A = this chain, B = another copy of it.
Amino acid sequence: MEKVSRNLLEHLLVMMLRIRQFELAVEKNFQLGHIYGTAHLAIGQEASAVGAISALKPNDLISSTHRGHGHCIAKGADLKLMMAEIFGRSTGYCKGKGGSMHIADVSAGNLGANGIVAGSAAIATGAALAAKKMGTGQIVICFEGDGAINEGIWHEAANMASIWKLPVIYLCENNQYGMGMPIKKATNLEKLSDRAKGYNIHGETIDGNDVLAVYKTVSRIAEDVRAGKGPALIECITYRIRGHSLRDAQRYRPEGEAKKWLDTYCPIERFKKYLTKSGYLKTGDIDALLSSVNKEIEEAVKFALESPFLDASRVTEDIYA
């Protein structure tokens, strides 16, 4: 792997900041009553989305989950259209019909968030099958939570990916919980990547809050996957800083656990420290990047707030293609 460029480092930081600030804005606007329904925030999990997707080529694909804003942003989505969708506006990615859990942009390589845990596992694998059949050279990253790998469909998809050597990476974001279920109670594994052994595919567990580690690992594995060596399972260890959704009382979580992770392992703070220590960026540079990100987010919120709702008469459009 070549040495990472300053451009790339800046990109990684900006993307993580975008995700963090976007999620904070969603949280705030929910509290303000501008967002209906719910959303699942990726605060604290920015590094796995950004590191992994930055290792892809532009025409590669991803599939995402209910906790999908980060993946979507890292894949280059338009923040305005995302925010508008979450605000339920007609200008959003799905015209307000989908909402947070269904944002997608298939033509730009995002096969979509999914309201069903592991709902994308086979779909992503099928996209990889199509890429292989059509010889496009694309690969697919299938994002999934630690809870998702216990769903049957994940197993069926992984097995088929293995027998047909499909170009797909299952990127499992182990954020320690599936809703309130601690991962240690949901599987009997040291590392979730051990699941790979059951399919004879490559498995690897990494620090998912180290954006460079994620970037480098995914880059290396993506090369093999693209070369036809078959799928892989990468477990990114991370932590969900907020509740499961915007409406979670968090009874199950030891007091202070989230704060400890944030204080010690925040992927953004760690990366900032690395960048300043190693001289790539100065604190001032970072502040400038942050304020430009904040401006984008403000614009996105403004765009969303000023956008119209879809006219009720159009509710039954788009049922059939």
Contact = CB atoms under 8 A, between A and B. Distances in A.
A217 to B, nearest CB: 21
A194 B186 contact: no
A188 B158 CA distance: 11
A93 to B, nearest CB: 30
Contacts of A196: 198
A119 to B, nearest CB: 13
Contact of A200 (B156, B162, B185, B190): B190
Interface string A262-283: 0000000000000000000000
A30 interface: no
Contacts of A185: 163
Interface string A187-225: 111100011111111000000000000000000000000
**Dominant secondary structure of chain A at its interface with chain B:** helix
Contact of A188 (B151, B153, B194, B200): B200
A196 B200 CA distance: 12
Contacts of A95: none
Interface string A170-189: 00000000000000011111
A186 B200 CA distance: 13
Interface string A152-163: 111110010011
A150 interface: yes
A156 B151 contact: yes
A186 B163 contact: yes
A201 B189 CA distance: 10
A185 B159 CA distance: 11
Contacts of A162: 187-188
Contact of A198 (B151, B186, B198, B230): B198
Contacts of A186: 159, 163
A195 B201 CA distance: 12
A246 to B, nearest CB: 29
Contacts of A195: 198
B151 A163 contact: no
Interface string A117-159: 0000000000000000000000000000000001111111001
A166 to B, nearest CB: 11
Interface in A226-255: 230
A199 B159 CA distance: 15
21 contacts: A150-B155, A151-B152, A152-B152, A152-B153, A154-B155, A155-B156, A159-B186, A162-B187, A162-B188, A163-B186, A163-B188, A188-B199, A188-B200, A188-B201, A188-B230, A189-B198, A189-B199, A190-B200, A196-B198, A197-B198, A198-B199
Given A163-B188, A188-B200, 6 more contacts: A152-B153, A163-B185, A163-B186, A187-B199, A195-B198, A198-B198
Pick the 7 closest A-B CB pairs, nearest first.
A152-B152, A198-B198, A155-B155, A197-B197, A162-B188, A195-B198, A188-B200
